[in-house]
Structure formats: C-alpha cells, structure tokens
Amino acid sequence: MCSIVHFDINGCHYKLPVVYGTFYEKAINISKLRENTGLITFDPGLKNTGIAKSSISFIDGEKGELLYRGYPIEQIINKCSFMETSYLILNGELPNTAQLKSFSEKIKKFNHINQEIYQILDKIPDNYHPMGILSSLTYILTAFTNCQQEEDMYLHLLAKLPILAALTYRKKVGLPPSYADHNLDYTSNLLKMFFSIPNKSYQQNPIITDALDKLLILHADHEQNCSTTTVRLLGSAHSGLFSSISAGISALWGRLHGGANQAVIEMLETILNSGGNIKKWVEKAKNKKDPFRLMGFGHRIYKNFDPRAEIAKEVAENLIKKLEIFDPILELAKTLEQKALQDSYFVEKKLYPNIDFYSGIIYQAIGIPKDMFTVMFALGRLPGWMAHWKEIKFNRDPIGRPRQIYIGYKKRNII
C-alpha cells in the first residue's frame, strides 16, 4: 500500500500523502496542494471529494452494500428496532437491555413541547409545505429547550421531532393536537400521535408499526449525502445542533434528495392517470431535451443496486398483501422498474431504483399524505444527522470552507 503519491506538474515533482479507510478505499490528501503548487482541485457536486473521516456508516456502491457502524443493513432490519438503531448510530455500539430501556425512558421524559410552539404553529398558513413547517419549528425549538447536558440535546430532538411532525399532520387534516403516550414504544407512539381521534380509543396495527419502524431504520444514516453534509458544514462552524438539523431538513426537502419520495408518487399517479403508457414515460426520461427524469431512479454512489430499495420494495409488498389492499400504484411501480431495468439507457448509466422509489407506497398505505413523505424521511434520518454533528465536534474538524474558480468581471470602477 503506498502512503505517498508522486506527481509532476510543469516539470516540478511533488509528493502528497494518501489516506486509507477501513476497506482500503483511498484518497489523496490535497490539503497542502495549493500551498505547494498554487493549484486547487475543481469538483462540482463534490463527486470525487472526500470531505471527512467518518465511522458512522459505509456504502459500497459497486456491491450495493450499506453498513451502520459495521452491521449490514439486512441484519439490522431483521434484528433491531429503530430505537436500537438510533442508539447504535449515535453511540457506536448496540445497546444492551438496560441501556436501551434507559435510552427510551429518557426520550419519553422529553416527549412534550412548549405551549408557545402550538401558538406559533397556529399562525403558519395551512397551505405551507410540511417540510417548511418542520424546519422552522425545529429551529425555534432552540428558544424553548433547556439542555442540562450535551446528551440531552440528542434525546430532546428524538423526542420532539415526532411531536412536531404529528402536529403538522394534524393541523393539515384539521385534527386537534395530540400528546405522547408514554406506555408505547417510539414508533407506536409516533403513529398514535398522528392518527388518534379525540374520544375514540386508538387501535395499533402491528403490521403498520413494523413497516414504519423498518422504513425509519432504512433512512437512519447514509454517510455524506446532501443533507448530512449540510448538517456537518453547520456543525463545522460551531452552529447549534437544532439549527444544524433545521438546515438539514431544508436540504432534504429538495426533489433530487429526500423530496424525491413525494415526486415519485406524483409521477406514478400522473403516469397512471394519463393512461399508464410506461414506454412513453421511459422515453421521456431518456430524452435530453426533456427535463423529466424517472424519479426514484439513480444514485450518486450506488451503481449496482440500492439495498434500501430492495428492502423497501419487500416491505411495501408485504404490507399491501397483509392489509389486503390493491394498490395500482405498486403494480405500476413494479412494471416501470422492470421496463427501465431492461432499457439500455438505464443499464449503461447504471440507474437503479433508489429508496424513494418504493417508500412512498408504504407511507401511502399507512395513510400519510404525499406532502408529509419527506417529513417521515427526516424522522428516520435524525439519528444519522445528529451522529455526524457529534462526530465533527468530537474530531474537531476545521470549518468547512471550499474554494472557487472565479469567472466574474475583472476589477472595474464605478462610473
């Protein structure tokens, strides 16, 4: 293994160190490149830039592998709850029974929000997008939350984000606010806070709880994606946790990132309502002159398959079967996937369904409206965002501050 790369620029010889990861992925450490050569690197979209050393999750895009703290996602999904996964991601190891109990109890202790937040929510127009509401309320939580210890901040957010999400949903559908039920586990409580109706006893459906718990796990971390990088950048400037998470939520909202789950169902509905001509839409996605893309397809890192998408597809099929519903959207999604995967455009460009292709079908079966899908993604991603924020603090990473190639005016005078 070489630890130094040698290279020549315009006849001058230079050496730069190489950094290795656990699985021998390697990177040239260019932090002294400009100092030594006068050059910077140019990498729009950070496609080829490692911005951190991290030990939270690992993706092998060629093999379609995802590990959380070393554990394969396929094992976590079958053996752990979202609470255990959150503990693992935040603390580095799976909890034992006592640690899990204490973690869950502490979260329950913070399972309430200040009355003023209800009033703030009341003032927000009904038609405002739930992701905008979630981001704003997460930000404003700072003003109303008193954290005695650093650990409390993470627990407060794990406790309070589901409340904000449920309140946002209930305002949208005209239901009064609901409150946490301390007798329930995390995901059962989340569902009850969403769907309970005043003066009616709420019946849990374990099939739904299990599907949602799995979906939260699938979203829990995904190394240096756009929203996580946003959270890390804010953390690197020593911004607070709540404002960093609020910024992460805003980044996630984008349709090329987490907002794709809403876009996928909207696309599938449009295809279905316009006659279900899949060939026409696949051709549209291939046409460079047409801005349309097959939403839920493609990924920056996965170039074989997205393991999360395979699990989400299985969860969606099981859920729909067990709930005995016929979902034409699921049938359409499966046919569309099949047709796209047989098409040379998608094969050559290595475009496969990503997590967002099937997640919306699960949310819809649970009864969550389309514009709340990305909110659910945010609830799942929360432990990952927080672990990255924690890691950047622990590692004492320097402030994130990229350079640029300026292409504007030369220096000029005001006339």
Q: Is 356 in the site for ligand CMC (CB under 6 A)?
A: yes
| Interface residue with ligand CMC, options 11, 38, 45, 198 (CB under 6 A) | 45
Helices (H), 145-200: 150-173, 186-195
Q: Is 141 in the site for ligand CMC (CB under 6 A)?
A: no
In the set 221, 343, 356, 371, the catalytic residue is 356
Nearer residue to ligand CMC within complex by CB, 83 or 351: 351
Q: Is 293 in the site for ligand CMC (CB under 6 A)?
A: yes
Q: Which is nearest to 382 in space by CA: 234, 231, 240, 235?
A: 231
**For 89-117, what is the HEC assignment?**
HHHCCCCCHHHHHHHHHHHHHCCCCCHHH
| 152 in active site | no
DSSP class of 224? S
Q: Which residue has the tokens 């969606």?
A: 316
Residues 6+ apart with CB under 8 A from 302: 59, 61, 64, 352, 354
- Two tokens, residue 147: 């954290």
Q: Which is nearest to 368 in space by CA: 112, 190, 247, 119?
A: 190
| Interface residue with ligand CMC, options 95, 298, 307, 360 (CB under 6 A) | 298
In the set 156, 219, 299, 388, the catalytic residue is 299
Q: Is 285 in the site for ligand CMC (CB under 6 A)?
A: yes
Which span sits near ligand CMC by CB under 6 A: 11-19, 160-168, 198-206, 253-261?
Answer: 253-261
Nearer residue to ligand CMC within complex by CB, 300 or 322: 300
| 356 in active site | yes
How far apart, in whole angstroms, are the C-alpha atoms of residue 213 and residue 218? 9
Q: Is 284 in the site for ligand CMC (CB under 6 A)?
A: no
Q: Is 355 in the site for ligand CMC (CB under 6 A)?
A: yes
Half-sphere exposure of 381 (CA within 13 A, CB side): 30
Nearer residue to ligand CMC within complex by CB, 285 or 312: 285
Beta carbon of residue 254, minimum distance to ligand CMC (angstroms, whole number):
8
| Interface residue with ligand CMC, options 294, 311, 336, 372 (CB under 6 A) | 294
Instruction: Looking at residues 375 to 414 of the shown chain, list those that interact with ligand CMC (rule: CB under 6 A).
Output: none
**For 354-368, what is the HEC assignment?**
CHHHHHHHHHHHHCC
Instruction: Looking at residues 165 to 224 of the shown chain, list those that interact with ligand CMC (rule: CB under 6 A).
Output: 222
Q: Which is nearest to 96 in space by CA: 84, 106, 86, 108?
A: 84
How far apart, in whole angstroms, are the C-alpha atoms of residue 346 and residue 311? 21
Residue nearest to ligand CMC (CB): 298
Report the interface residues with ligand CMC, using CB under 6 A. 45, 222, 225, 256-258, 260, 285, 293-300, 349, 351, 354-356
